Amino acid sequence: MVREAITLVCSECSNRNYRSTRKARATEKLALKKYCRCCRKHTVHKEHKK
Ligand SMILES: [Zn+2]
């Protein structure tokens, strides 16, 4: 199965904190709660390609 590399970006400070992969065919945007060192708390991280 083809998987696509994505970067997870903090929605509050735009820091690129995590790398991940997902199914290339998935159309909906990923939004995950992750810890951001910059904000020092859990924030929503959204996917950002490459
Ligand atoms: Zn942040």
Query: pLDDT digits over 8-44, tens only?
Result: 999 999 999 999 888 877 677 789 999 999 999 999 9
Ligand 1 centroid to 9 CA: how many Å?
A: 8
pLDDT of the residue at 42 = 98
What region does 4 belong to: left with phi over 0, alpha with psi -120 to 50, or beta? beta
pLDDT of the residue at 50 = 63
Q: What is the pTM of this model?
A: 0.80
Ligand 1 centroid to 13 CA: how many Å?
A: 4
pLDDT of the residue at 9 = 96
Ligand 1 centroid to 1 CA: how many Å?
A: 32
Residue count (the chain): 50
Domains in the chain: ranges and CATH: 3-49 (2.20.28.120)
| Alpha carbon distance 48, 50 (integer Å) | 7
